[in-house]
Chain A
């Protein structure tokens, strides 16, 4: 158990819809990152949040957005869903300055039909 919890675990959306995924970081961790993992691939970095601000972004379009709250929990929002957005979305938490110990939640499986 990493202490990183994500919800929902599974969901199905229709192309064009919007989705919000949620994450609670491990106690004491102030940095949250989101990753997308397509089937058979390694996780790809979407963005990172620290002190409620985006602190680095991967190669993902603006329709992928996020929030971090004062309690360090976080949300990932994806607008205008496309079929290729079907993937496992992983939340990872760490303590700023200790990026060598990054812990993942179990992920949210998103299927876009």
Chain B
């Protein structure tokens, strides 16, 4: 079993739709969760991070962690064509040698006009 699992997609939605991207994780010891956005042939860009459980909102983006089900989600409201990218979820212990990131495979999102 992979430590972080993510549906690779592709996921295609019309402009303006609400997008839900999801990951599951297996290591309960690591409690920092990140979402990165990666455009084609570019490096990953940090979108948001959350610690432990709960919600965090930043503009059109909301990150959610459900520790009971080991489930993390990213919601994108009013999706735009510029949101078309691969979204990577990641988990880390946050400090010391545990600060390595464990990534999912990424979900490719296409927002169409």
Q: Which residues of B contact A97 (CB under 8 A)?
A: 95-96
- Flag if A102 contacts B92 (CB, 8 Å): yes
Q: Does A66 lie at the interface of the complex (its beta carbon under 8 Å from any beta carbon of B)? A: no
Whether the pair A42, B103 counts as a contact (CB closer than 8 A) is: yes
A99-B46 in contact (CB<8A):
no
Q: Closest CB-CB distance, B97 to chain A, in whole Å?
A: 4
Contact A42/B106 with A99-B93, A101-B46, A104-B45 known, Cβ cut-off 8 Å: yes
- Chain A positions 79-100 with a Cβ under 8 Å from a chain B Cβ: 88, 90, 92, 94, 96-100
Question: Which range holds the interface residue count of chain A?
Answer: 20 to 34
Q: Which of the residues B6, B8, B44, B101 comes within 8 Å of A45, measured between beta carbons?
A: B101
* Size category, B interface: 20 to 34
Q: How far is the CA of A48 from the CA of B51 in the complex (A)?
A: 22
Q: Which residue of A lies closest to B49 (CB)?
A: A100
Which A35-78 residues have C-beta < 8 A from chain B? 35, 40-45, 48, 55-56, 58
Q: How far is the CA of A31 from the CA of B32 in the complex (A)?
A: 17
A-B pairs with beta carbons under 8 Å apart, 20 shown: A31-B99, A35-B101, A41-B106, A42-B4, A42-B6, A42-B104, A42-B106, A43-B44, A45-B100, A48-B99, A97-B95, A100-B49, A102-B34, A102-B46, A102-B92, A102-B101, A104-B36, A104-B44, A104-B45, A107-B42
Q: Which residues on B are within 8 Å of A, measured CB to CB? A: 4, 6, 8, 32, 34, 36, 41-46, 49, 51, 88, 90, 92-106
Q: 7 new A-B pairs (CB below 8 Å) besides A43-B103, A104-B45?
A: A33-B101, A42-B90, A43-B44, A96-B95, A99-B92, A99-B94, A102-B34
